[in-house]
Amino acid sequence: MTKRTRISRREFLALSATALTGAIIAACGPTPTATPSAGALATPTPTVGVVGTPAATPTQAAPTPTAAPTTAAPGTIKNPGTFVEANIGDVSSMDPAWAYDTASGEVIYNIYETLLFLDRDRIDKFVPMLATDWNISSDGLTYTFNIRKGVNFHDGTPMTPQDVAYSFWRAMVQDRAGGPSWILLQPFFGLEVQSFKSDVVDKQFNGNFAAATTAVQKAITFDNNAGTVTMHLKQPYGPMLQILTGTWASIISMPWAIKQGDWDGTAATAEKFHDPQAESDPLFKITNGTGPYKLDRWAPGEEVDLVANTNYWLMQPLWSGGPSGAPKLQRIVIKYVSEWGTRFAMAKTGDADSLYVDTQYISQIDPLVKETCSYQTNQCQTTNPNGQFRLFKGLPQVSATAIFMTQQVNTTGGNSALGSGKLDGNGIPPDFFSDIHVRKAFNYAFDWDTYIKQTYNGEAEQCYGPIIHGELGYDSNQAHYTFDLQKAASEFQASPLKAADGKTLWDIGFYVQYIYNSGNDQRRVAGQILQANLAKINPKFKMAVVDEPFPVLLKDQTAGRLPIYALGWLEDFHDPHDWVVPYLATGGTYGGTQGFPKDLQTQMDQLINQGVSTSDPQARAKIYAQLQNLAYENALDLFLVQPQARHYEQLWVKGWYYNPTYGNAAQGGYFYAESK
């Protein structure tokens, strides 16, 4: 008897039909949902309410479910106990000393903890976290931290002062290329330090890695018996407490790290663990923090799953009304969904509790917003009674965009961005932007109001200099440029630049290429606004708006080859020092390639060093105000805008607040404070 191995067409059709039926039955199956408690349902019905304080409105009725089947039924919490965030991007590493991006920061903030933390939504006030208190010496050179007792890592081992010291040593010695370690290195080894190997080991210790590591260990000492960690700074460092709240300052367990194959903490072996690539970092995808959540699973590019740390140590709130005890949300799922339509559908069905919304899609989701709230007061206004989302808008971001003008452009090997490279109507000379009249004219030719309205939906603020709103040294009354074509024309006419035949800039005109990174529409529109206004001033003023892929732009920018270009900055830590260095300092990411006049550069460098080395906030504010004014007076850049973000969440989400320094603050933030 032969074995029958073929299937007939009929059999196949029958199997297919079975599979299809199975899919449909599965599709119609129940989805885990739960009916919330009365408190959770108590969404305010008056036009003004308070988010996260349902108990304050006990008489309010539950919202009437809408008939529309296109959205999750109001009052029914989908996936109770699990918070799902639909976002873009992905974690680059779970190692706090390696990671240096907002997506990683969001996850690390919820797993690891730092000595001190920011006071809820405040960005300039600290609360003790893994340190119970601290003392700063009168000369600002010694910081002593009393380390909290009774805190356990996720693996159950107790946290000790040695773990704290080791975490800082490791972060500094590791210093991976392009990583965050420079932030910790500067207070201990000098403001000029950007790299442990080249600036500390090679320059300060003649290439002796072990000696440099020993110096690191002397800079941060611990006493397990006294329960203290002491930091010995090279110079007073104004933002010191701020940098200790960053993810790079997270505390890890030393015995656990060693067990995973990481550095054993001795100077002799340190070099082997310097500058690891992601794959050779033992802590790349594993975690062991002290925080409210533990890493359950990281599927790169897909999602990160966190589970509640049921043995969390925090029993007293860090701030008044803050969370304490075990986390309310049992599971956090951060899904990385690059396609907007998919994220939107996930939110509509209630499968996502919060989501990232690109600016261009705001008009699609806004009609579904039920209440619009203020992040400062939590007061809400009902905008659509049948809506399903809560919106917080006007969230100030700690980032800014600027148009940079290079005063001495690198022309090695030719440079098409300069056109002919001469002032002949078809190009500009390499030092075109060294003329202050030209720089001022470009500033006066920019229309901020139109730009903010067109590209940011009105949700951005004009920058008056490198220091953004909310930072020390920022003054809302600071003199700044406003759109004025007449003034722009006057500045162009006052320019001493002349063509070879003696014609003035006004008579001969110019051609220059404005460069922005491909795909960035906001920067493209900024260029187009400037382009149109320059042409209005004088048709001979021609500026081409050219996009370059980011890698090409990066190469040209670092080589100083771009005469005028748009880029942005997202702060590392909340302090004006982190703004004036990239924009104005010798060696700054932008200022370092712009070729500022020597005298001005020296003056700015001195002020920058003075500002960061001063402890008194008032004295610091004056110094940074001076720098801000210097940037204005010299029209160094065309400072564009500080954008504002939006946060969309399901109505059942409670407890979210906005602290811009958290990773992905506008979508997720600190999940410990949230519930459903």
CA 190/CA 175 separation, integer angstroms: 15
Using the rule CB under 8 A, which residue among 34, 278, 479, 619 binds another protein? Answer: 278
**Would you say 23 or 479 has its CB closer to another protein?**
23
Nearer to another protein, 196 or 375 (CB): 196
Task: Please identify which residue in 85, 95, 163, 275 interacts with another protein, judged by CB under 8 A.
Answer: 275
Residue 241 has which token pair?
């407490």
Question: Interface with another protein includes 518 (CB under 8 A)?
Answer: no
- Closer CB to another protein, 90 or 637, in the complex: 90
CB 331 within 8 A of CB 81: yes
Binding window for another protein (CB under 8 A); candidates: 115-123, 160-168, 385-393, 588-596: 588-596
Q: Which stretch binds another protein (CB under 8 A): 90-98, 253-261, 265-273, 461-469?
A: 90-98
- Counting contacts by CB under 8 A, is residue 24 touching another protein? yes
Selected range binding another protein among 411-419, 584-592, 599-607, 652-660, rule: CB under 8 A: 584-592
Q: Which one of 147-155, 230-238, 256-264, 586-594 is the stretch in contact with another protein (CB under 8 A)?
A: 586-594
Asked if residue 325 binds another protein (CB under 8 A), the reply is no
In angstroms, the CA 463 to CA 641 distance is 5
Eight-class DSSP state of 148:
P
Return the range that interacts with another protein (CB under 8 A); candidates 48-56, 162-170, 457-465, 550-558.
Answer: 550-558
| CB nearer another protein, residue 303 or residue 424 | 303
Sketch the per residue contact string, 470 through 509, with another protein: x for CB under 8 A, - otherwise.
----------------------------------------
Q: Is 324 left (phi over 0), alpha (psi -120 to 50) or beta?
A: beta
Q: Among candidates 557, 561, 524, which has minimal Cα distance to 543? A: 524
Distance in angstroms (rounded) separating the CA atoms of residues 653 and 355: 12
Which span (122-130, 332-340, 379-387, 527-535) binds another protein, by CB under 8 A? 332-340
SS (H, E, C) 31-60: CCEECCCHHHHCCCCCCCEECCCHHHCCCC
Neighbours of 454 (CB within 10 A): 15
Per CB under 8 A, the list member of 34, 226, 570, 619 interacting with another protein is 570
Q: Does 654 bind another protein (CB under 8 A)?
A: no
The minimum distance between CB 85 and another protein, in angstroms, equals 12
φ, ψ dihedrals at 214, nearest 5° = -60, -40
590 forms bridges with which residues in the sheet?
Answer: none
CA distances from 329 to 28, 307, 389, 674 (A): 27, 8, 19, 7
Q: Which of 11, 139, 302, 616 binds another protein (CB under 8 A)?
A: 302
CA 10 to each of CA 7, 20, 493: distance values in angstroms, whole numbers, following the listed order: 8, 15, 86
Shortest approach of another protein to residue 236 CB, angstroms?
Answer: 22
Is residue 7 a contact point for another protein (CB under 8 A)?
no
Supply the DSSP symbol for 655: -
Task: Note whether 29 binds another protein by CB under 8 A.
Answer: yes
Of residues 396, 374, 545, 408, the one with CA closest to residue 456:
396
Q: Which is nearer to another protein, 71 or 144 (CB)?
A: 71
Task: For residue 88, give the amino acid letter.
Answer: I
CA pair distance 248, 240, nearest whole angstrom: 13
**34 near another protein, rule: CB under 8 A:** no
**Does residue number 301 form part of the binding site for another protein (CB under 8 A)?**
yes
117, 126, 145, 182: residue in contact with another protein (rule CB under 8 A): 182
- Least CB distance from residue 450 to another protein, whole Å? 26
Using alpha carbons, list the distances in angstroms from residue 348 to 27, 220, 358. 17, 51, 16
> 41 to 70, contacts with another protein by CB under 8 A?
69-70
Interaction of residue 558 with another protein, rule CB under 8 A:
yes
Q: Is 454 in the site for another protein (CB under 8 A)?
A: no
What whole-number distance in Å separates Cα of residue 549 and Cα of residue 433? Answer: 24
The DSSP string of 297-343 is EEETTTEEEEEE-TT----S-SSTT---SS-S-SEEEEEE---HHHH
**CB contact set of 54 (below 8 Å; sequence gap of 6+):** 39, 40, 41, 42, 43, 654
426, 509 contact by CB (below 8 A): no
CB of 130 to another protein, least distance (A): 25
| Residue 338 near another protein by CB under 8 A | yes
The answer to whether residue 463 forms part of the interface with another protein (CB under 8 A) is no
Q: Which string of x and - marks every residue 183-222 that binds another protein (by CB under 8 A)?
A: -----------xx--xx-----------------------
Residue 345 is a binding residue for another protein (CB under 8 A) = yes
Decide if residue 269 touches another protein (CB under 8 A): no
Nearer to another protein, 272 or 555 (CB): 555
> CA 388 to CA 211: how far, in whole Å?
60
- The yes or no reply on residue 367 touching another protein (CB under 8 A) is no
